[in-house]
Amino acid sequence: MSESKGKDETNVVSSNRDEFSNMMKEFESEVNEISEGEKIEATILSREDDLFYLDLGGGFEGEILCDEFIDPDSLLNGDKVDVYVQNKKGSFYKCSASRSKLTGNDPGDKGLRSDSLFQEGDRISGKISGVNKGGFEVVVDGERGFCPFSQIEADYGEEPEVLINKAYSFKIIEYDPESDKLVLGRRDIIEEEKNLNKVKLLGSLNTDAVYQGTVSSVKNYGAFIDIGGIEGLLHISEISNEKVADANDVYSEGDEVEVKIKDIDHEKQKISLSRKDLLEDPWDEFTKKYSVGDKLEAVVSALKPYGAFVDLLPGIRGLLHVSKLGDEKFHRHAKEVFKVGDRIEVWVESVNDIDKKIALTRVEPGEDLSGQLAKLKSESDREEKASSGNAFGDLLDSALSDKK
């Protein structure tokens, strides 16, 4: 009797255990059941024709149309994607990448996607699906949006169709759920990216560094040079040792030019460049070629009361003092003798290496001027016969005596 009773108790325990196990399985199945409309991070298992097969987690699998994604060809097995569960299709869950396609939702109900899915100012990915009169049709999260031509900021020339099926990041400019109006743009995003890249590049640049750049645009006051994704200004004063009146006379768009960074203004995000600093110092060139007493051909570049400035070499000027003009007359201004652009012959009278100044004369060194001085004295004597004496004549006498 006791043996039979023990067996009965064992059977009861086993039966209870099986019943409990079945209840747990049923409970786990109910708990793990996926709800329609639920957002899940799924893993791509495989692709067959126009479908992706997904691992939804918890032992569940699903499928989704490839066209639901902006760039399906870029997705690989193992990639994670966010999907929304639509409904159960046999043993699979049918999924969508867009909330607006969930089962039971009226396509005319625009309130579904107003829940932070489309907010003005937000960035969102989209794919260009077509072109109309004013711009591009864009598919965003399964919905259609519009991007004006002026907002795409892409180099597509005269054929906007070349951008069809290309995916971009857009900013939502305007969204009206009532009228289903979704206006997108890329111009602000591109500007933001340019500014970020500019800040990064500025931080990597160093003063005095030399770069091979490309002329991106030319103004009369200088040329803008692209030195690897960032522009700097090469002012006309930094182009050459010679005076440049207009940068257009030297450069054209697309020209290659080697430049040195002269200054970086991080606050204003501006770069000043120099070409002149990479050229040989014209002073060194002059002192190698010429010395005191040498004769040069020069061009008058500026006229002052005290003399004329003349260009001797590119970047090198000398002063021809009004007292060194080489004639017998007294001149109150150099313009009485020269005009800008005149070509004249001069001699180097002195060179100041410290201040880099050159004094010139039109009187040939060693030339005997006693005849000219005697003539000046004679004229002065005739003009001034005052009994008090002739101070200027005395000075000429002294000069003649020294010369003899």
Residues 6+ apart with CB under 8 A from 375: 328
Domain that holds residue 235: 206-278
32 found inside a domain: no
Among 251, 278, 305, the domain-final residue is: 278
Torsion of CA 317, 322, 328, 332, to 10 degrees: 140
Do 281 and 313 contact (CB within 8 A), yes or no? no
Same structural domain, 120 and 91: no
Same structural domain, 44 and 95: yes
**How does 263-276 read in b/e, with b if 16+ C-beta sit within 10 Å?**
ebeeeeeebbbbbb
Which sign, positive or negative, has the C-alpha torsion 289, 293, 297, 300?
A: positive
- Specify the pLDDT at position 4: 53
Averaged pLDDT for residues 72-86: 86
Residue with tokens 């902006």: 70
Strand partners, 344: 298
Is the pLDDT at 18 greater than 80? The verdict is no
Same structural domain, 396 and 347: no
User: What percent of the chain lies above the pLDDT cut of 70?
Assistant: 75
Residue 201 DSSP SS3: helix
Same structural domain, 344 and 289: yes
Is the pLDDT at 6 greater than 80? The verdict is no
- Specify the pLDDT at position 113: 43
21 found inside a domain: no
When pLDDT is cut at 50, 70 and 90, the band that residue 388 belongs to is very low
Torsion of CA 32, 38, 41, 42, to 10 degrees: 70
Same structural domain, 353 and 374: no
When pLDDT is cut at 50, 70 and 90, the band that residue 335 belongs to is confident
Averaged pLDDT for residues 82-100: 80
- Specify the pLDDT at position 280: 79
C-alpha separations of 281 from 178, 222, 234, 314, 367 in Å: 71, 21, 18, 10, 33
10 found inside a domain: no
Same structural domain, 118 and 168: yes
Same structural domain, 262 and 213: yes
The rounded distance, in Å, linking the Cα atoms of 31 and 240 is 80
74 found inside a domain: yes
Among 228, 259, 278, the domain-final residue is: 278
Same structural domain, 235 and 217: yes
196 found inside a domain: no
Is the pLDDT at 300 greater than 50? The verdict is yes
- Specify the pLDDT at position 15: 58
312 found inside a domain: yes
299 found inside a domain: yes
Averaged pLDDT for residues 253-265: 92
CATH of the domain at 290: 2.40.50.140
333 found inside a domain: yes
Q: 73: which 2 tokens?
A: 């060809």
Residue with tokens 């066209």: 67
Nearest to 202 by CA among 266, 151, 144, 112: 266
Same structural domain, 274 and 311: no
Nearest to 144 by CA among 123, 129, 131: 129
- Specify the pLDDT at position 224: 95
Residues 6+ apart with CB under 8 A from 146: 132, 134, 135, 136, 137, 138, 181, 182, 183, 184
Which sign, positive or negative, has the C-alpha torsion 89, 90, 92, 93?
A: positive
Same structural domain, 286 and 272: no
Is the pLDDT at 16 greater than 60? The verdict is no
- Specify the pLDDT at position 252: 92
Averaged pLDDT for residues 6-19: 55
- Amino acid residing at 305: P
- Structural domains of the chain, count: 5
Same structural domain, 375 and 348: no
Residues 6+ apart with CB under 8 A from 307: 319, 320, 321, 322, 324, 334
Do 364 and 306 contact (CB within 8 A), yes or no? no
What is the average pLDDT score of the chain? 79
The rounded distance, in Å, linking the Cα atoms of 323 and 314 is 25
Same structural domain, 49 and 88: yes
